[in-house]
Amino acid sequence: MDAVPDGLPAPRRHWALIGLWIGMAMSVIDAAIVNIALPLISWDLHVSASLATWVVTAYQIAIVMTLLPVAALGERIGYHRVYLGGLVLFTLMSLGCAVASGLEMLAVCRFAQGLGAAAMMGVNGAQMRFVWPKALLGRGIGYNAVVISGSAAAGPVLAGLILSFGNWPWLFLINLPLGLIALVLGMGFAPQTPSVAKTFDWKSALFNAVMFGALFLAASDAVHGDLSFRLAGYCLLGGVAGMLLIRRERSRPRPLIPFDLMAIARLRRAYGASVCAFVAQMGMLVSLPFLLVEYLGLGAATIGLLVLPFPIGIAIASPVAGRLARMDRGGAISALGLCLMASVLIAITLLLPARPPLALLMIAIGFCGIGFGLFQPPNNLVMLTTGPMDRAGAAAGMLSLSRLLGQTAGALIAALVLRLLGPGSLMAFHVAVFVALAAAYLAYRR
């Protein structure tokens, strides 16, 4: 089936979207869902807690290393093929993770699963430009934001639910039927997008993977206090690979790192706003459970319920913001949402020491989600549609990369605060307020 010039007609569009959203939800949820099971995995596989964290790190580093290369590969062979290949790999490796008998096999399968997730994430935004008619694209991006942000925030809650009925392999086995459904819908209804590039630069892809992988490992070691020659080696390797990549890509007409898109001032501000906003979001989500334990003495199940209003708030606000995204005041809507989020974060830091009612905290967390939901669709619309159509893959890759960099930085900042200041420190929330306001400024100026 050929791609429809101005999106897909209903009901084909609806079935295609269900398939794409199932795949995206699985890839986003799996970035966070395994965290809850790390103690169980550590005990079951007879490894230390520090070694068990490689189950998370292997997945994250695979995504960071390959997100931009798979977006470029989508421009070469078609976004549809890259997405389906990623979905198949992700689903098969979910089975591999479930049957893994040791940490080494589990970490390898998680790395391969991360490669599949990167393929889905890297081309998702580009596919949306072919699925939705132009007149409805803002609304579609709003719904996309609901799926992505809601999945990330709801992951720990879902993990707790699954683990209450079964052991940790079920976190991966649940992907098998969902992956099959997404594959059937994707093959039957998603648009077969055309190739828009004649070549794929494997050398640049290798330099990109080495750069991001080495710098990710260096940042992780630094945050956890592992200051050693290994850290210096990671920094040196990542720096050299980065210099070689930039030197190679600067003069290319279709660079792997999209300098052509970053040359557009509006896009630079949108990328900056996205990174800062996700730093604030992840810093809040990582530090909040520790604060609720320290100040209120709550258990894991109660904490999961308290965090649940955040994705619900996103789900409420994102479609509304998506409908308004094509208005001239899209930047103001994004900035307003982030200012709301920052204000509520300040209120939470004042409320927690006073041991407020849980209902009041749930309302506050819900308004945080509403603020974030107002920000994301207008900003994503700018990132996806400001550049030319034949650079849709690069635009989609940068959208996903800005989100991933922000989430990674937010988690690392929260981890650093926990290590240096302890689980009762409100510093991570103070940082989240600052970067949320910085994101609001960038969003308003774009």
| Confidence (pTM) | 0.78
Q: pLDDT tens, 226-237?
A: 677 888 888 899
Residues 186 and 211 in one domain: no
Please report, rounded to a whole number, the percentage of residues in the chain having pLDDT higher than 70: 93
Q: pLDDT tens, 90-135?
A: 999 999 999 998 889 998 999 999 999 999 988 887 788 788 887 7
In this structure, the number of other CB atoms found within 10 A of the CB of residue 247 comes to 10
Residues 329 and 404 in one domain: yes
Q: pLDDT tens, 128-160?
A: 878 888 778 777 877 877 787 677 667 767 777
Q: pLDDT tens, 10-58?
A: 899 999 999 999 998 888 888 767 766 777 787 888 887 667 777 877 8
Mean pLDDT estimate for the chain: 84
Residues 78 and 215 in one domain: no
As a whole number, mean pLDDT of residues 385-402 equals 80
- The pLDDT, as a whole number, for residue 307 is 80
Residues 322 and 214 in one domain: no
44-52: long-range contacts (C-beta < 8 A, 24 or more apart)? 44/167, 44/168, 45/102, 45/103, 45/106, 47/103, 51/103, 52/103
Residues 117 and 187 in one domain: yes
Residues 168 and 23 in one domain: yes
Q: Is the pLDDT of residue 441 over 50?
A: yes
Residues 209 and 184 in one domain: no
Helical residues (DSSP H) of 34-136, grouped into ranges: 38-45, 49-52, 54-77, 79-99, 103-131
The answer to whether 369 and 344 have CB atoms below 8 angstroms apart is no
Residues 35 and 165 in one domain: yes
- The pLDDT, as a whole number, for residue 215 is 86
Which one, of 194, 26, 64, lies nearest residue 126 by Cα? 194
Residue 60 vs residues 113, 116, 213: alpha-carbon distances, Å: 10, 12, 9
Residues 223 and 360 in one domain: no
Q: Is the pLDDT of residue 408 over 90?
A: no
Domain that holds residue 286: 258-446
Q: Is the pLDDT of residue 302 over 60?
A: yes
Last residue of a domain, one of 183, 218, 251: 251
Q: How far apart are CA 441 and CA 438, in angstroms?
A: 5
How many CA atoms lie less than 13 Å away from 428 in the CB half-sphere? 29
Residues 130 and 276 in one domain: no
Report the domain count for the chain.
3
Residues 375 and 322 in one domain: yes
Residues 153 and 81 in one domain: yes
Q: How far apart are CA 45 and CA 33, in angstroms?
A: 18
Peptide bond connecting 11 to the previous residue in cis, omega within 30 degrees of 0: yes
CATH number, domain containing residue 180: 1.20.1250.20
Q: Is the pLDDT of residue 295 over 80?
A: yes
